[in-house]
Amino acid sequence: MTNRRKNSRDEDVNFRALRILESNPQISQRELAKALGISLGGINYCLNALVEKGHVKIANFRSSQNKIGYIYELTPEGIAHRAILASRFIKRKMAEYDALKAEIESLQADMHANVPVEDG
């Protein structure tokens, strides 16, 4: 996998994680991993990187029955970073959409060009 593709994939995971954490700060790492379709170790790595960059702050959820429960809070830097990632995500997805649409149109043109004409 090229570095560019890996970076895009990592950005997509970070963006989606930030969106989920913003709307559900009490989510467990296991639930977040499942929602993103990545391993528990992968989400742990992702969260640690977001914390290290100052985009997410982790706090104990004191009133939780689960004493190891945490709240994941987006910092102001995290909110700004999510907005940047959202813009990049939209640009990538629009480019993918345009490429897919062009490929479908090309395949449809090929298909129509290769369909035998029936004499009536």
Can you give the residue ranges of every domain in the chain? 3-113
Three-state SS letters, 60-118: ECCCCCCCCCEEEEECHHHHHHHHHHHHHHHHHHHHHHHHHHHHHHHHHHHHHHCCCCC
Q: What fold is seen in the domain 3-113? A: Arc Repressor Mutant, subunit A (1.10.10)
pTM (global) more than 0.85 = no
Banded pLDDT at 23 (limits 50, 70, 90): very high
- Has residue 59 got a pLDDT over 90? no
Mean pLDDT of the chain: 89
Dump pLDDT digits (tens) for 73-101. 999 999 999 999 999 999 999 999 999 99
The per-residue pLDDT for 1 is: 64
- Has residue 120 got a pLDDT over 60? no
